């Protein structure tokens, strides 16, 4: 049943019956054994239909008492819902338009800003929060550590709370996250498996993400790519299920193998080296990327992928063939080398792009 923006008092049915039978409210009051004032207040929705009144109405009108009580319950529920939505409507501007579009696209709401209270109510229901205050509190708890966030941020943008939490919640509703609740994570097993993960990432193709997800699942780690709302300026992040099971969650932004693979191993650095529950945000500008955790995750990814020599072994290379040859020599995908060379200004952004593999088509496989 579709909710309406109005409430129908059960007294309206009584008023219709009175008109159909050509009676006065006074006459109906006499038949019910009540006062005219009581009948008038029921007709106008100011007085509730009690169990006693419902039984009298059944005998006089012929409509069962349980039906009158059902009408009454629906009326009170609609009044409460309408009042609640009027109160919630004041929070509509705290939900980013891109979050609204995202929720509509996944079927979490059909409302628009023309019904702001319903839209906010659906937003809260998606997040499993009863009030806006509960939602804010949940986000505050997340930012303080229940989600170990390692976000890779675009330069000069602001991370909107509603976009972030909507993306987080969408992941929780996905099958890989649900399966992860039963995983047993072992950090030492993950460390032992790093060479195998690195080797698989060296050959990016349409099955690479699925293979890596399966390898990590065997180690008790969830790896998933979750389509983000537009304007969510993240590449990926790391969080934990009940502070037991690590979840590496990527947006697939840009889709090139260099971004995806670097983000994966950066996040593995957070999983292995940072305390569970800490929040880490990595900005894309070197000026802002200054926390010890972010530097540590970057150093972890660099050493694991490039070895002790790091990116310096690509210095002075500019032709695709020599970059590809060096990448294959050290056992990484050429696109990863190009990605880091671009970021560190060792290679003009106009060059090396043909070495990058587009993985966007494999995110949903």
**Is pLDDT at 234 greater than 90 in this prediction?**
no
Tell whether 347 is covered by a domain: no
**Residue 129 counted as domain residue:** yes
- Is position 356 within any domain? no
Residues 155 and 245 both lie in one domain? yes
Confidence of residue 162 (pLDDT cuts 50, 70, 90): very high
Indicate whether 151 and 289 sit together in one domain: yes
Domain membership flag for residue 359: no
pLDDT number for residue 235: 82
Structural domain ending residue among the three candidates 135, 162, 196:
135
The answer to whether residue 102 is domain-embedded is: yes
Residue 213 lies in domain: 138-307
Share of the chain above pLDDT 70, in %: 88
Are the C-beta atoms of residues 335 and 357 closer than 8 Å to each other? yes
* pLDDT above 80: residue 57: yes
Q: What is the pLDDT of residues 287-301, one digit of tens each?
A: 444 567 788 999 999
**Domain boundary residue, one of 73, 88, 103:** 88
One domain for residues 126 and 82: no
Q: Are 129 and 161 in the same domain?
A: no
One domain for residues 50 and 99: no
At residue 1, does pLDDT exceed 50? no
Residue 360 has pLDDT above 80, yes or no: no
Q: Are 151 and 296 contained in the same domain?
A: yes
**Mean pLDDT of all residues in 148-167:** 68
80 & 100 share domain: no
Give the whole-number percent of the chain exceeding pLDDT 90: 77
Q: Taking residues 45-73, what's their average pLDDT?
A: 96
Residue 339 lies in a domain: no
Same-domain check for residues 195 and 282 = yes
Regarding whether 43 and 31 lie in a shared domain, the answer is yes
Q: Single out the residue in 266, 286, 307 at which a domain terminates.
A: 307
**Do the domain assignments include residue 33?**
yes
At 218-227, the pLDDT tens digits run 999 999 999 9
Residue 53: CATH number of its domain: 1.10.260.40
252 and 171 in one domain? Answer: yes
Query: Are 242 and 112 members of one domain?
Result: no
So what's the pLDDT on residue 175? 95
Q: How many domains is the chain built from?
A: 3
Give me the mean pLDDT over the 318-337 stretch: 96
- Check whether residue 227 and residue 302 sit in a common domain: yes
- pLDDT for residue 283: 44
Q: Residue 364 pLDDT more than 90?
A: no
């Amino acid at each position: 049943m579709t909710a309406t923006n109005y409430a129908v008092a059960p007294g309206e049915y009584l008023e219709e019956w009175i008109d159909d039978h050509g009676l006065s409210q006074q006459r109906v009051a006499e038949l019910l054994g009540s006062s005219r004032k009581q009948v008038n207040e029921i007709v106008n929705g100011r007085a509730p239909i009690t169990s006693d009144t419902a039984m009298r109405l059944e005998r006089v009108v012929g409509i069962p008492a349980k039906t009158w009580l059902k009408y009454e319950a629906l009326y009170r529920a609609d009044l409460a819902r309408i009042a609640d939505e009027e109160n919630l409507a004041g929070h509509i501007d705290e939900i980013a338009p891109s979050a609204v579009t995202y929720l509509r696209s996944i079927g979490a709401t059909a409302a628009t800003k023309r019904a702001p209270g319903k839209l906010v109510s659906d937003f809260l229901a998606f997040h499993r929060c009863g009030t806006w205050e509960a939602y804010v509190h949940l986000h505050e708890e997340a930012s303080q550590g229940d989600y170990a966030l390692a976000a890779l941020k675009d330069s000069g943008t602001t991370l909107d709370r509603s976009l972030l939490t909507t993306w987080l919640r969408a992941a929780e509703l996905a099958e890989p996250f649900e399966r992860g609740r039963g995983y047993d994570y072992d950090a030492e097993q993950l460390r032992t498996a790093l060479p195998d993960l690195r080797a698989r990432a060296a050959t990016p193709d349409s099955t690479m993400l699925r293979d890596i997800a399966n390898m990590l699942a065997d180690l008790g780690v969830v790896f998933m790519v979750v389509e983000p709302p537009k304007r969510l300026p993240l590449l990926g992040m790391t969080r934990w299920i009940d502070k037991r099971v690590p979840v590496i969650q990527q947006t697939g932004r840009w889709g090139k193998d260099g971004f995806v693979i670097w983000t994966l191993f950066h996040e593995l650095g957070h999983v292995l080296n940072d305390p569970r529950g800490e929040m880490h945000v990595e900005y894309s500008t070197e000026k802002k990327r200054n926390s010890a955790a972010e530097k540590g995750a970057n150093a972890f990814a660099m050493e694991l992928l490039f070895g002790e020599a790091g990116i310096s072994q690509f210095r002075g290379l500019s032709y695709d063939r020599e970059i590809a040859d060096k990448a294959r020599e050290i056992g990484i995908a050429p696109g990863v080398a190009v990605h880091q060379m671009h970021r560190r200004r060792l290679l003009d952004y106009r060059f090396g792009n043909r070495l990058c593999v587009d993985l966007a088509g494999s995110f949903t496989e």
